[in-house]
């Protein structure tokens, strides 16, 4: 069972600090458009969407109807109907974005980057798909063709998320890398899909030493023993992506609105950050020597 009280208290403390500052920058409300008040607080809504990704349920509807309404009514005394909850959950999108920014991991100076596909519909239904028309794109990964988006993530040696972004499925993996590392300094590694002298030079100016394995038709690159060891441990980022997909269920093809897709992605990332045990690398004796201060 997920620690409901711990998750709610952390989210509630964050919301109490975030929303007063956020509302100061909102434009005046348009009186012609009425927005009904909601009995549930933003922290309760955020808690429920995060708990879904820590549960064993495979779809949110059954989770809400069977688990939340029947078993958690004492924890959430002002529960809404399922349809109303799905309708208003998009209101916590800004808070979830800010929470993920505040929840980013420790700056260890050692990072890995990788991307994964987020499929939004089966290939047989691409021509009939309308929800993400003009937003998602068709592309090919190591697992075959897909239609959807790419999730790009940067993790540290503790398995903590440092940065992430979403792009259309046909985006080159190297394109968002400079922005992902804009606030980081140190040593970073990626797979062969990130090979680019131009990108590596740009990252070097920003304080990131970026390394990858070489292809067979490339000249060998001299690496230190630690860089070889660091590259050999790149599977940690693949393990993180595996947990996001298999445990936190960041991917499914039943979205009916783009904003619900974004809520699902952010809630899955937040659920992963709440996990007490994450994939990690033991670098107690070596990490200090390579730590580059920010």
For the chain, what are the domain ranges?
4-22+38-102, 110-254+278-290
- Res. 124 pLDDT band, cuts 50 70 90: confident
H or E element: which one contains 243? helix 235-246
User: 202 with 181: CB under 8 angstroms?
Assistant: no
- Res. 286 pLDDT band, cuts 50 70 90: low
Q: How many CA atoms lie within 13 A of 207 on its CB side?
A: 14
- Res. 294 pLDDT band, cuts 50 70 90: very low
The pLDDT assigned to 140 comes to 87
The pLDDT assigned to 3 comes to 84
Task: Check pLDDT > 50 for residue 275.
Answer: yes
Average pLDDT over residues 177-193: 94
- Quick one: how many helices (H) and strands (E) in the chain? 12, 6
Task: Check pLDDT > 90 for residue 182.
Answer: yes
Average pLDDT over residues 204-230: 90
DSSP for 143-183, written as a single string: TEEEEEEEEEEEEETTS-EEEEEEEETTS-TTTTHHHHTTT
The pLDDT assigned to 100 comes to 94
Q: How many CA atoms lie within 13 A of 77 on its CB side?
A: 0
The pLDDT assigned to 18 comes to 95
- Res. 30 pLDDT band, cuts 50 70 90: low
Could you tell me the fold of the domain covering 110-254+278-290? Nucleotidyltransferase; domain 5 (3.30.420)
Residue-wise pLDDT for 135-168, tens only, equals 999 998 877 899 999 999 999 999 999 999 999 9
Instruction: Quote the DSSP letter at residue 207.
Output: T
Residue-wise pLDDT for 95-107, tens only, equals 999 999 999 999 9
- Res. 35 pLDDT band, cuts 50 70 90: low
CB neighbours of residue 186 within 10 Å: 19
First CA to last CA distance, the chain: 38
Average pLDDT over residues 246-252: 89
Task: Check pLDDT > 60 for residue 291.
Answer: no
The pLDDT assigned to 2 comes to 63
Q: Tell me how far the alpha carbon of residue 268 is from its chain's centroid.
A: 7
Average pLDDT over residues 178-205: 94
CB neighbours of residue 5 within 10 Å: 10
Range from 16-20, 123-127, 236-240, 267-271 carrying the lowest mean pLDDT? 123-127
- Res. 293 pLDDT band, cuts 50 70 90: very low
Q: What is the mean pLDDT of the chain?
A: 89
Cα separation, 7 vs 274, whole angstroms? 8
pLDDT above 90 covers a percentage of the chain that reads 65
CB neighbours of residue 156 within 10 Å: 25
Beta pairing partners, 163: 154
The pLDDT assigned to 28 comes to 75
- Res. 292 pLDDT band, cuts 50 70 90: very low
The pLDDT assigned to 34 comes to 55
User: 58 with 250: CB under 8 angstroms?
Assistant: no
Task: Check pLDDT > 70 for residue 32.
Answer: no
């Amino acid at each position: 069972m997920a620690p409901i009280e711990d998750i709610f208290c952390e989210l509630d403390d964050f919301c109490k600090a975030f929303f007063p500052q956020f509302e100061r920058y909102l434009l005046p409300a348009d009186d012609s458009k009425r927005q009904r008040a909601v009995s549930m607080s933003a922290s309760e809504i955020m808690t429920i969407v995060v708990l879904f990704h820590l549960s064993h349920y495979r779809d949110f509807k059954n989770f809400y109807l069977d688990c939340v309404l029947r078993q958690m009514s004492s924890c959430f005394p002002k529960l809404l109907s399922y349809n109303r909850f799905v309708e208003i959950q998009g209101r916590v999108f800004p808070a979830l974005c800010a929470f993920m920014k505040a929840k980013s991991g420790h700056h260890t100076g050692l990072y890995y980057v990788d991307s994964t596909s987020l499929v939004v519909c089966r290939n047989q239904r691409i021509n009939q798909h309308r929800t993400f028309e003009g937003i998602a794109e068709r592309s090919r990964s190591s697992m075959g063709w897909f239609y959807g988006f790419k999730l790009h993530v940067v993790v540290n040696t503790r398995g903590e998320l440092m940065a992430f972004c979403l792009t259309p499925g046909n985006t080159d993996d190297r394109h968002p890398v400079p922005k992902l590392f804009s606030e980081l300094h140190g040593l970073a590694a990626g797979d062969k899909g990130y090979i680019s002298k131009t990108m590596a030079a740009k990252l070097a100016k920003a304080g990131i030493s970026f390394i990858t394995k070489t292809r067979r038709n490339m000249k060998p690159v001299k690496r230190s023993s630690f860089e070889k060891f660091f590259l050999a441990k790149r599977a940690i980022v693949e393990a993180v992506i595996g947990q996001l997909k298999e445990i936190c269920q960041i991917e499914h093809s039943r979205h009916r609105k783009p904003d619900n897709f974004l809520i699902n992605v952010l809630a899955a990332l937040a659920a992963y950050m709440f996990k007490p045990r994450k994939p990690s690398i033991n670098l107690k004796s070596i990490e200090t020597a390579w730590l580059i201060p920010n």
